[in-house]
Amino acid sequence: MESIKDIFIIGNGPSSSHTIGPSFAVDIILKDYKNIKSIKVTLYNSLALTGRGHLTDKIIKDKLKNFDVEIDYDINTATPHPNALDFDIVLTDESKVHRRFYSIGGGTVVEKLSSTCKKNHIYKENNLEDILKICHEQNLSLYQYVLGHENEDILDYIKNVLKVMDECVSRGLNTSGILPGKLKVERKAKYLLENSKSTIRIGTKNDQMVMAYAYAASEENASGGIVVTAPTCGSSGVIPGCIEYLRLNNIKEEKILEGLLVAGLIGKLIKTNATVSGAVGGCQAEIGSAASMGAALIMHALGYDNEKIAQASEIALEHSLGLTCDPIEGYVQIPCIERNAIFALKAINSCSLAAVINCETSKINFDDIVQTMFETGKDLQKGYKETSKKGMSKIKIEC
């Protein structure tokens, strides 16, 4: 398994697979060809169906603003991955080049779907059961296990991740108005934060704060701002909500940073053994993975052991199974923003349950639920996987 760094990628929202991934593909093209005359970019399937709402076309045009660019949308040609994009380039000497990329989720782009470059594999273990065994034998926490495998810059990397997340939340909490796009969705993070001080509310003040923080990050994402994938842009509000929960409970920053690395390990296991792409697995793969990571973060930061972390992460993912991806008009707004707030609370509730239920009595393990999520995702009809063809996306909104 490779480094956990690609679970936390910094980039522009609103979608890691539809915005950051294609943006990285353009970077590769610009690096490889210095003599471009014109470029035609073809977006396939999910990228074609929701690319406009997810700002795929905008990021490509922005990055290629110095060239003659044409964007085509092809929803009929089957591709081995639903997020495929082709670059047909004419160079200044009139020679032609064709390159295809797959944006496989969480901002990662590959040219070959089966390409697993062994030299980048820094973890020998590929599932949580094996990792827990090693940790047990060597008396390691999951945090120590991660630290023992990653390069020495990992602590600086995760510090920067937390800094960018905090900046993102801060911008979100201080901005009001309407989000971009034709849905005319009003930002609510600031209002939620103010409302948390009111006595007229259901639930605890802390719940309201957690939701406000999750909204803040998600609204920044929806507006195309700089966010951190965790593990994707669409689900990037869950972890900031969980971090706020820990701060409200006076947990030290050092423990939060450690917990983020453990959360990264959980996200990486899901990305390696299943998917974090809504176009492949539905929203369970994005928001379910985020809740599972959030549970790992909280349990580690609160001082629970490896088995309890695994149990809470399993619970959070198990109860996300079947969740569809059907954003209205292709915007990462409805149901996405509200869903981040609800699933930040789900991560906390999963921890609350795991903290009191004896691990030995648990019949389901994390690795099995990851596989179940993947199989469920494959079985979901295409219309429920980031195509805006079915489910909630069929609801007509008064704009």
**Residue 179 DSSP label:** P
Q: Is 274:247 a contact under the CB 8 Å cutoff?
A: no
Nearer to ligand SF4, 256 or 335 (CB): 335
Q: State the Cα–Cα distance between residues 83 and 373, nearest whole angstrom.
A: 19
Residue at token pair 């195509």: 387
Q: Locate 142 and state its tokens.
A: 């999951």
Partners of residue 110 on adjacent β-strands: 102
Q: State the Cα–Cα distance between residues 19 and 24, nearest whole angstrom.
A: 9
Is 88 exposed, middle or buried (CB count within 10 Å of its CB: 0-12, 13-18, 19+)?
middle
Nearer to ligand SF4, 135 or 285 (CB): 285
Nearer to ligand SF4, 87 or 384 (CB): 384
Q: Is 238:287 a contact under the CB 8 Å cutoff?
A: yes
Residue 94, SS3?
Answer: coil
Shortest distance (Å) from residue 247 CB to ligand SF4: 24
Nearer to ligand SF4, 131 or 283 (CB): 283
Nearer to ligand SF4, 52 or 300 (CB): 52
Which H or E run includes 362? none
Nearer to ligand SF4, 13 or 302 (CB): 13
Nearer to ligand SF4, 107 or 327 (CB): 327
Q: State the Cα–Cα distance between residues 170 and 293, nearest whole angstrom.
A: 22
Which residues of this protein are in contact with ligand SF4, per CB under 6 A?
234-235, 278, 283, 286-287, 325, 327, 332, 335-336, 339, 386
Shortest distance (Å) from residue 388 CB to ligand SF4: 9
Residue at token pair 């700089």: 226
Partners of residue 73 on adjacent β-strands: 43
Partners of residue 385 on adjacent β-strands: 325
Shortest distance (Å) from residue 144 CB to ligand SF4: 32
Q: Locate 27 and state its tokens.
A: 């970077």
Give CA separation, 199 vs 194, 214, 215, in Å.
11, 21, 21
Shortest distance (Å) from residue 372 CB to ligand SF4: 18
Nearer to ligand SF4, 89 or 283 (CB): 283
Shortest distance (Å) from residue 147 CB to ligand SF4: 30
Nearer to ligand SF4, 89 or 185 (CB): 185
Q: Locate 220 and state its tokens.
A: 């920044």
Q: Which amino acid is at 179?
A: L
Shortest distance (Å) from residue 16 CB to ligand SF4: 9
Q: Locate 141 and state its tokens.
A: 């926490």
Sign for the CA dihedral angle at 327, 328, 329, 333 comes to negative
Shortest distance (Å) from residue 290 CB to ligand SF4: 9
Measured from each CB, the residue nearest to ligand SF4 is 234
**Residue 325 DSSP label:** B
